[in-house]
Amino acid sequence: MPVKIYLPTPLRQYADGHDIVEVEARTVGEALQNLASKFTGLRKQIFTETGGVRSFVNIFVNDEDIRHLQGQETVLKEGDTIYIIPSIAGGSYD
């Protein structure tokens, strides 16, 4: 089934400027792999060398973090939307 994946601004440069990409997938992992196959520059941005999602990349299905679901094995249903949200850090403690 087709799934929409929303890309944050910093990742759009690796996806030919697209903010939304549609891929066919049954699970979150399959959707992310299909996204990375379609736009190979995204692979290093999303995945570690061992195939896990990078620790600073948060993946949500609708409004649920996949870490609180079944991770990459989370099954998708029609109408689900995947959001890729990078962690933000910085600032100082004065």
Q: What is the pLDDT of residue 91?
A: 53
Q: What gap in Å lies between CA 46 and CA 54, rounded to an integer? A: 6
Which regions in the chain score pLDDT beneath 70?
A: 89-94
Looking at the whole model, is its pTM more than 0.85? Answer: yes
How many residues appear in the chain?
94
Class of domain 2-86: alpha beta
Confidence at residue 1, expressed as pLDDT on a 0 to 100 scale: 85
Query: What's the pLDDT at 78?
Result: 87
What sign does the CA torsion over 9, 12, 17, 21 have? negative
Element of type H or E holding 34: helix 28-38
